[in-house]
Copies of this chain bind each other. A is one copy, B any other.
Amino acid sequence: MESQFGEKIRALREEQHLYLRQVAPLLEMDTAQLSKIEKGLRQLKREQIPTIAHILKANVNELLTLWLSDQIYAVVKDEKLGYQAMQMAEEKIRFRKENDIIG
């Protein structure tokens, strides 16, 4: 469960019966890189998420949420105070939403 995004990408790719060899060039990378992304050893660039969603016929928002979640998890995974910190950050976001600074 180290990279939910990577696991999802792989699942989607297999559903579509595509090989790394077929998908990687569409993202302008080689198979090695895409393999690492699927295993969570590399990060896909934020701006490539819409592209891969299109290639794999998946929902952009779902993939983006998974991707962001992985980024957050990376910050706190080894921290015993991680949960508290997340609650605090969440509160900050919630406050922002209540004030319509962001939709």
Chain A interface, DSSP helix/strand/loop, else mixed? helix
Complex-state Cα separation, A61 to B7, whole angstroms: 34
**Closest CB in chain B relative to A93 CB, distance in Å:** 5
Q: Mark A46-89, 1 if CB is under 8 A from B, else 0.
A: 00000000000000010011101111110110011111111111
**Closest CB in chain B relative to A41 CB, distance in Å:** 18
Number of interface residues of A (CB under 8 A): 32
Q: Interface residues, chain A, CB within 8 Å of chain B?
A: 1, 4, 61, 64-66, 68-73, 75-76, 79-90, 92-94, 97, 102-103
- What are 17 A-B contacts with C-beta separation under 8 Å? A4-B88, A61-B81, A64-B79, A65-B81, A65-B88, A68-B76, A69-B88, A69-B89, A71-B85, A72-B72, A72-B86, A73-B93, A76-B93, A80-B102, A83-B94, A86-B89, A86-B93
